Amino acid sequence: MPKNKTNSGAKKRFRLTGSGKVMRQRARHVHKFQERPKRQSRRLVNDVVVAPADAKNIKKLLGK
């Protein structure tokens, strides 16, 4: 049987924790930080857990 391939778009956007949770970055955390309030910039730094409804599909894309 051929090997499963990891979806290259998913591996750039999501990561798995040691306990198996799927983490993602917050939206708008890419560029133009000088135009945002500092409070918003700090809030966007932390990664968040993906919604449970999406986690199963994302794990499949990551090959887990």
pTM higher than the cut 0.85: no
Contacts of 48 (CB under 8 A, 6+ apart): 23, 24, 26
Buried b vs exposed e over 3-34: b needs ≥16 C-beta within 10 Å?
eeeeeeebeeebeeeeeeebeeeeeeeeeeee
What is the CATH code for 8-62?
4.10.410.60
Question: What pLDDT does residue 20 have?
Answer: 93
**Rounded-to-integer distance, Cα 56 and Cα 64, Å:** 9
Question: What pLDDT does residue 33 have?
Answer: 85
Question: What pLDDT does residue 39 have?
Answer: 94
User: How confident is the chain (64 residues) per 10-residue block, as mean pLDDT?
Assistant: 91 95 92 90 93 95 91
Question: Within its chain, how far is the Cα of 53 from the centroid?
Answer: 14
Question: What pLDDT does residue 60 have?
Answer: 94
Closest C-alpha among 58, 41, 47 to residue 7? 58
